[in-house]
Structure 1
């Protein structure tokens, strides 16, 4: 079970993520109250173990901007959060080669009923055909707000769609995850990974050590029992 702790804003939290066994730490470069700058992140990633992935979250469609930020901040993963843009993914792969993993975010509109299932299924099929990205993060969306909503999508309804359309993709579940429900999400969806931000915070931009430890522990236990 791959575990990413996202929306880090300081070295103390990022090091705590790593020490508790997170596989990846995330930094938000998209508009957010948890947004960070490339130079700020560079001072953090310098002190992280080489084994821990360092992932930047972007809503930009400017490949050169993403590449420059990734290099300045010493990232080895980029998460595309601004909608599906196959041309952008191709450009990033051309420039970055295999040195940086690409994660495509798809948004499950929790107030859209069956329409969201259709849209997510269609995008999963497209991503599989393109063959550029093999990690796909499914996040919840409420109205116009994407990410950091603290609201989970309907895992039971999503299960059939993801099972039918995900194919060989590595699915990562996000959106409303907490220590209390991460095991249920893993049981329902059998993902390759999970991603959390607000669910392990004491306040925006600051992690709660006890909730963080509980989340990682519960995710590991649920993942090992599959």
Structure 2
């Protein structure tokens, strides 16, 4: 049973959409430019978010103290590391918080998958590799590279509504992570979010929707 995460929420409208559609997780991005929000924005948005939806904070080579502050204030429920963070960085985080940690792996080839086995995060997130950015490119990668005996993982990278059936039935990720595919002109689109959330629930839980 795969879960669904809608990443890159930055407006109050986005939170209202999520509260109506009830994805398992949403993502607040604290890096880059396109979807980045401030800590204060995240604090306000989290107050409006349904408590049954987990808020994941997405960071790229962030100062650990900033992450701990957000975690301890319960602005984020899970930590996602999407940069060059290593096991020492993860261990330092673990010494200061009990929040679950996701480590993103930007997949170029099979060796990236092999190397990921040594990462001591709670979850892995497999995403596509691009030269100019750490994530959120909207580009997919070769899912045939994923191993059969992988631990629970998030799957990201250009996932569209029409990909959901194959991903759930053949790869069975712990969670499907989408962002650009549920946007129109750079903003979250309610109808696109609705379609992809319902698709994941339909194939994961056997629910039928009109």
Q: TM-score by structure 2 length?
A: 0.90
Give unpaired runs (5+ residues) of structure 1. Answer: 110-115
For residues 151-162 of structure 1, what are the structure 2 equivalents within 5 Å? 151-155=139-143, 157-159=144-146, 162=147
Residue 79 of structure 1 and its aligned partner are, at CA, apart by 0.3
Match of 1:142, SS state, is coil
Match of 2:167, SS state, is helix
> Do the aligned partners of 2:5 and 2:24 also contact (CA within 8 Å) in 1?
yes
Match of 2:95, SS state, is helix
> Do the aligned partners of 2:55 and 2:77 also contact (CA within 8 Å) in 1?
yes
Residue 18 of structure 1 and its aligned partner are, at CA, apart by 2.9
Tell me, in whole angstroms, the C-alpha distance in 1 between the residues paired with 2:165 and 2:84.
Answer: 28
Tell me, in whole angstroms, the C-alpha distance in 1 between the residues paired with 2:30 and 2:7.
Answer: 11
User: 4+ residue stretches of structure 1 with deviation over 6 A?
Assistant: none
> Do the aligned partners of 1:84 and 1:106 also contact (CA within 8 Å) in 2?
no
Tell me, in whole angstroms, the C-alpha distance in 2 between the residues paired with 1:182 and 1:71.
Answer: 34
Give unpaired runs (5+ residues) of structure 2. Answer: none
Residue 42 of structure 1 and its aligned partner are, at CA, apart by 0.5
For residues 139-178 of structure 1, what are the structure 2 equivalents within 5 Å? 139-155=127-143, 157-159=144-146, 162-164=147-149, 166=150, 169-178=151-160
For residues 96-111 of structure 1, what are the structure 2 equivalents within 5 Å? 96-97=97-98, 100-109=99-108
**Number of the residue aligned with 1:113:** none
CA RMSD of superposed structures (Å)? 1.7
Match of 1:75, SS state, is coil
